[in-house]
Structure 1
Amino acid sequence: MAFDELRGRLGRSFEKMRETSKMDEMMLNSFLKEITCTLLDADFPKLALTEIERQSQDIINLPASSNKGKLIYEIILTELVSKLDPGRSALFLVKSEPSIVMFIGLRGVGTTKTCAKYARYHRKKGFRPALVCADTFNTNAFFRLKKVAKYEVPVYGSYTTDPAELAAEGIAKFKNEKRDLIIVDTSDRHQQYSTLFEEMRLLSESMNPDLIVYVMDSSIGQAAFDQAQAFKQSFTRGVVIVANINCNSKSCGAISAVAAAKCPMILTETGEKNSEEFEAFEAKPFVRRLLEQEKMRRYTTIMESMTDEGIVDDQNIFFSFFKLINISYVFGRA
């Protein structure tokens, strides 16, 4: 299911609910089932949806005088934060001593493009980045890296066949040139993460990087858990970049899977026409930004003073919340 279809299904469901002048228990149950099924189709964690349904049912069964809208809002907020919390943040580099960052990824996930974009991003932040092509498997790897770097960041490459030796040459060169961020791009020839991690673990031992970045495409959804867990076990100084979050309806599944593996992560896009932004993922601000856009802030104010006399207010709050579940807001500013 494409992400636009996901938004459309959610939007249609809540539009119907908003237009209903009066809603009884049966209608609310039907509404919750429709929404949770849609989110399940989008690869959202089943455990979170089950818990939301269970707790929402408890709220529905409360006396009529209860503030059901506010209570259900709090349930949704708490469950989303809980299931999307990786436990620790992916802190960005600070300018001090030269930092060495090693990028790794499976074939086809866009590691080289993300690597170059990461360099350009830090250049705009005041760093003096440089790129080292340590991919000795692909014959055009050096030229490809120079192209995606858009000639804005210097790139080192040579005919050396040993990736460890090539990386050492490039790192030494850029340290002499007083570059404060040296980013090493590696081979993406592997299709299995187990063989990739084994090869890259040996390479990292020779490089001793300050940070190892594993690029993962969000289209794999909850299947990201095994990769994230294996990555965390293989590298102690690692962070996962989850790419293409806007293009895939399984983005929530991938984010929750990486969070379940307790891997710090960064969200971004890939491709020439996409925004060159990176955001260290933190569950609570992320969820609050989804919930509390300008329209939702108004409904939050309503909830604070809402009584059960206005059942339509409850419906509007539900509608507004799910109308705002759009991964593209991750790059918005509250």
Structure 2
Amino acid sequence: MVLNELGARINSALQALSKEPVIDDKAVDALLREICGALLESDVNVRLVHNLRQNVKKRVNLDELAASGNKRKVIQLAVFDELCSLVDPGVQPWKPRKGKPNVVMFVGLQGSGKTTSCTKLAAYYKRKGLKVGLVCADTFRAGAFDQLKQNAARAHIPYYGSYAEADPVQIAMDGVAQFKGSKFELIIVDTSGRHKQETELFAEMEQIAAAIKPDNTIFVMDGTIGQAADAQARAFKESVDIGSIIITKMDGHAKGGGAISAVAATGSPIEFIGTGEHVHDLDPFSARPFVSKMLGMGDISGLVETVKDMQLEKNEDMMKNLAKGVFTLKDMRDQLQTILKMGPLNKLMGMVPGMSPEMMQGFDADESTRRLRSYMSVFDSMTEAELNSDGKLFDTESRLRRVARGSGVRPVEIQALLHQHQQFGQIVKKMGGPKGMLGKMNPGMMQQMAKNPGAMNPNMLKQMGGMGGIQNMMKQMGGMGGIQNMMKQMMGGGDGPGGPGGMGNMQDMMAQMMNGMGGMGGLGGLGGMGGMGGGRR
């Protein structure tokens, strides 16, 4: 991913500082020299890098810290805060208002991924419950309307465009008027890509903005653009009022620092980053979680947001079973379905604290997703009675062979799946039932926890056995180290029960994550463990 190499170098420099026997000016200069070198090589604007260096030096006064035992922590926090300031202009991004028409206009260079980003943004807000429509006002690029139409149809988003009308201003006005008349809440207008030297196209962009009066203008910036980012961003800012930025192509291996420099050039906040070609590959941006994730500290707040979108509180059967200490094969299937809905596995794993860029290398998310889907076919080949059981019905070889034939999966893989189901079932049994922590929580409380994983009021905490109870739960689940080790094993290779090809480690991850999501406060408990500011918004 873009910036993975940068994150790895900065993280390495911070770790080297922690090993220094003496923290003096020489050690701080060496740290800043390595960090600034990494930023410059990643195409971050030289002026911004100079400011970062000066700001860190101002904040770190070694004479004042002489009596403190936390020199390293103060220096690391100063670096972290300054890295955040690179991508945070201190302005809150615009948000659409539900129940009212909101018009958003997309602008940017040709080839930056504008049209794809339009569809991704539409799909994102559709998942949030808004009524969304797309308008293609790009009459300059051949096939632009066909591309938007195809993307919109695939994502089930209504769209408007014209093969006959050549005036993009008229198309934009007609499309916005039609969607407003149909009470659409978010209307996204795609415009032609343009370069700062193309004065006619810039004039056209200004005319469209004047005609539709957008509530927000989003500047789409290619994450691979390099040093040209600053000049291009300033040119667009001078022509239209850029309200927010989307940085695309953050799934490649380019340097990516130039696009970040556009934040300083426009003074507008980054609203989303594009991390792939799929419709789900658009992540809401927040500076501290972004930097935390880049440095391998995870993004708990992003993980919680993803969980809330899944509306887990609606899965009442699973919550009742967990409270009773029961974990059926159907519960296991529901967990896998939820994980698949969350999007690519590498995106999900990147939110887990401790998952450094180095650990992510070599992980084939597409292959793991394919394997997960093959396991879903195993559940589809089971009867209702088998799904609602604890798996002991599969003590007969004929039943095992029948499911293997129906799913196209080898019997040994089904046995691995059943083995892991049994192991996690034992954990649920200990924690559920009348004496377990889950048994002490009423169904309403569990639903509330699932709806808002980050919330835990004193009454909930008391019923769950206080902080001691939470810590004991984390200990039983392997704690933070257990989650990290589990993720390492999942990427470790092999087709047996313990490798990524087997059901074992994949289900361990799902089970632990969903256990926290399903009412035990797992994610809420991890919120402060995401490194320096990793869990903050």
Q: TM-score, normalised by structure 2?
A: 0.48
Aligned length: 302
- Counterparts in 2 of 1:274-313, with a 5 A limit? 275-281=280-286, 283=287, 286-287=290-291, 293=297
User: Do 2:122 and 2:188's aligned partners in 1 also have CA atoms closer than 8 Å?
Assistant: yes
Once the two structures are aligned, what percentage of the paired residues are identical? 37
Secondary structure in structure 2 of the residue aligned to 1:127: coil
TM-fit CA distance, 1:95:
0.9
Specify the alignment match of 1:65 in structure 2.
Answer: 67
Specify the alignment match of 1:120 in structure 2.
Answer: 123
1:63 & 1:186 partners in 2: Cα distance? Answer: 54
Specify the alignment match of 2:259 in structure 1.
Answer: 254
TM-fit CA distance, 1:107:
0.9
Secondary structure in structure 2 of the residue aligned to 1:206: helix
Secondary structure in structure 2 of the residue aligned to 1:184: strand
Q: Which has the higher contact order (CA 8 A, sep 6+)?
A: 1
C-alpha offsets along residues 143-163 of structure 1, whole Å, 9 cap, x if unaligned?
Answer: 111112215111112211111
Q: Pick closer, same or farther for the CA change 1:280–1:27 going to 2, 3 Å.
A: closer
TM-fit CA distance, 1:202:
1.2
Specify the alignment match of 1:89 in structure 2.
Answer: 92
Q: Which segment drifts farther, 176-185 or 112-121?
A: 176-185
Greater gyration radius: 2
Q: Pick closer, same or farther for the CA change 1:247–1:186 going to 2, 3 Å.
A: same
TM-fit CA distance, 1:125:
0.8
- Counterparts in 2 of 1:208-247, with a 5 A limit? 208-221=213-226, 223-236=228-241, 238-247=243-252
2:231 & 2:211 partners in 1: Cα distance? Answer: 26
TM-fit CA distance, 1:201:
0.5
1:203 aligns with 2:208: yes
User: Do 2:102 and 2:185's aligned partners in 1 also have CA atoms closer than 8 Å?
Assistant: yes
1:43 aligns with 2:48: no
2:279 & 2:226 partners in 1: Cα distance? Answer: 21
CA RMSD of aligned residues (A): 3.8
1:146 aligns with 2:152: no
Q: Which segment drifts farther, 40-49 or 84-93?
A: 40-49
C-alpha offsets along residues 33-57 of structure 1, whole Å, 9 cap, x if unaligned?
Answer: 3343223322343214432663487
TM-fit CA distance, 1:141:
1.9
User: Do 1:114 and 1:270's aligned partners in 2 also have CA atoms closer than 8 Å?
Assistant: no
Q: Pick closer, same or farther for the CA change 1:71–1:5 going to 2, 3 Å.
A: closer
- Counterparts in 2 of 1:172-211, with a 5 A limit? 172-188=177-193, 190-192=194-196, 195=199, 196-211=201-216
Q: Pick closer, same or farther for the CA change 1:171–1:41 going to 2, 3 Å.
A: same
C-alpha offsets along residues 102-160 of structure 1, whole Å, 9 cap, x if unaligned?
Answer: 11221110110001111111111111111111122234222111112215111112211
Secondary structure in structure 2 of the residue aligned to 1:93: coil
Q: Which amino acid is the alignment partner of residue 37 of structure 1? A: G
Specify the alignment match of 1:134 in structure 2.
Answer: 137
2:22 & 2:274 partners in 1: Cα distance? Answer: 40
1:102 aligns with 2:105: yes
Q: Which amino acid is the alignment partner of residue 157 of structure 1? A: G
1:154 & 1:5 partners in 2: Cα distance? Answer: 39
Q: Pick closer, same or farther for the CA change 1:82–1:113 going to 2, 3 Å.
A: closer
1:73 & 1:229 partners in 2: Cα distance? Answer: 32
Q: Which amino acid is the alignment partner of residue 236 of structure 1? A: D
Specify the alignment match of 2:345 in structure 1.
Answer: none
Secondary structure in structure 2 of the residue aligned to 1:226: helix
5+ residue gaps, structure 1, are 296-319
Q: Which amino acid is the alignment partner of residue 232 of structure 1? A: K
Q: Pick closer, same or farther for the CA change 1:205–1:286 going to 2, 3 Å.
A: same
1:100 & 1:139 partners in 2: Cα distance? Answer: 25
Q: Which amino acid is the alignment partner of residue 50 of structure 1? A: R
2:11 & 2:91 partners in 1: Cα distance? Answer: 33
User: Do 1:90 and 1:280's aligned partners in 2 also have CA atoms closer than 8 Å?
Assistant: no
- Structure number having the greater helix percentage: 2
User: Do 1:290 and 1:325's aligned partners in 2 also have CA atoms closer than 8 Å?
Assistant: no
5+ residue gaps, structure 2, are 300-352, 360-529
Runs of 4+ in 1 over 6 A off after TM superposition: 288-292, 323-326
User: Do 1:97 and 1:180's aligned partners in 2 also have CA atoms closer than 8 Å?
Assistant: yes
Q: Which segment drifts farther, 232-241 or 91-100?
A: 232-241
1:157 aligns with 2:161: yes
Q: Pick closer, same or farther for the CA change 1:162–1:270 going to 2, 3 Å.
A: farther
Q: Which amino acid is the alignment partner of residue 169 of structure 1? A: D
1:266 aligns with 2:271: yes
- Counterparts in 2 of 1:20-39, with a 5 A limit? 22-23=21-22, 25=24, 29-39=29-39
1:86 & 1:176 partners in 2: Cα distance? Answer: 36
Specify the alignment match of 2:462 in structure 1.
Answer: none
Q: TM-score, normalised by structure 1?
A: 0.74
